[in-house]
Amino acid sequence: MKRGAALLELQDVDLEVLRSQKRLDEMPEKRLILEVRHKTRDVTALRAKANELVSRLGAAVSRHEDECAMIATKLDDEQAKLMSGDVTNPKMVMNITREMDALKRRKDKLEMDEIELMERVEKAKSQVAKVDAALGQLSAKEASLIDQYKTKGAEMISEIDRLKARREELTHAVDAQTLTTYESIRESKGGVGAGRLAGTMCTACRMELPAERVAELKSGPDIAMCPQCRRLIVMTPAEDQE
């Protein structure tokens, strides 16, 4: 295959890959997959906050339990003093009694607060369970959508793979310098890096070229540069143009 013909077919293949990839990217299943993944990120963030709340509430419960245990120990000690008979001074007995009353009130308050905290812990854990269930449903939905995407897109993916294989063959039919120039232009000009001279028109930019420029192009190499769009332009033989 001549390098000019190979370059033109390479351009056709590249454009068809772009079109096929665009159709694949615009499949509704892909949009739904992205939506599910976005929602999964949001729900995962909620799960982190719920776990943090469970942790903070659990720590508060532990602090209340520790303080209640310390108060209980102190109450036992004060009660032991009164029961021992060693404390006979009425004023000291009254002070100890007052101290014990204050400790009991503090202990009662801590226990009530602890009950409330434990209820909040249960609610927070319930919220975590709901979030986990939601994440499970989202994961199942994503897996189902991916299966649908793969099934419906299998034909397009197969066609893209076929085109890419053909592209690989064509790159070997174009010299390295021309291929490098083509790739660079294609990258910078929306996927179109080459066209052909059809009469006096460049098919890449659809611009009519002046007669003198057409004559210059035809008298030169089979692959040149379009003076209008600065893309590669292939000199097409007259019989091919027909």
Indicate the pairing of strand 207-208 with strand 201-202.
antiparallel
pTM for the model stands at: 0.55
What's the confidence (pLDDT) of residue 162? Answer: 95
Spell out the domain ranges in the chain: 22-171, 176-241
- CATH topology classification for 22-171: Helix Hairpins (1.10.287)
CB-based contact 112:137 (threshold 8 Å): no
* Strand 232-235 relative to strand 223-225, pairing: antiparallel
233 — phi, psi (to 5°)?
A: -130, 130
User: Cα dist. 187→14, 83, 141, 184, 194 in Å?
Assistant: 11, 94, 37, 5, 11
**pLDDT tens sequence across 41-72:** 999 999 999 999 999 999 999 999 999 999 99
Structure tokens at 118: 């434990």
Q: Check residue 43 and give its pLDDT.
A: 94
For the cut 50, the answer to whether the pLDDT of residue 238 exceeds it is no
Number of alpha carbons in the 13 Å side-chain half-sphere of residue 198? 13
Task: Give the CA distances from residue 236 to residues 56, 58, 128, 221, in Å, rounded to whole numbers and listed in that order.
Answer: 76, 79, 69, 11
Q: In 3-state terms, what secondary structure has residue 22?
A: helix
Backbone dihedral angles phi then psi of residue 207, each to the nearest 5 degrees: -105, 135
Largest interatomic CA distance in the chain: 128
Q: What is the pLDDT of residues 149-198, one digit of tens each?
A: 888 888 888 999 999 999 999 999 999 999 999 999 999 999 999 999 99
pLDDT band at 239 (very low <50, low <70, confident <90, very high): very low
The pLDDT assigned to 151 comes to 86
CA distance 41 to 133: 14
**Residue 207: its H or E element:** strand 207-208
Please report, for residues 46, 88, 107, 164, the alpha-carbon distance to residue 75 in angstroms, rounded to integers and kept in the order given.
Answer: 43, 18, 10, 83
Closest to 53 in 3D by CA, of 114, 117, 113: 117
Question: 33 falls in which pLDDT band (50, 70, 90)?
Answer: very high
| Contact criterion met (CB below 8 Å) for 37 and 209 | no
Q: Strands of 58-158 (E only): list them.
A: none
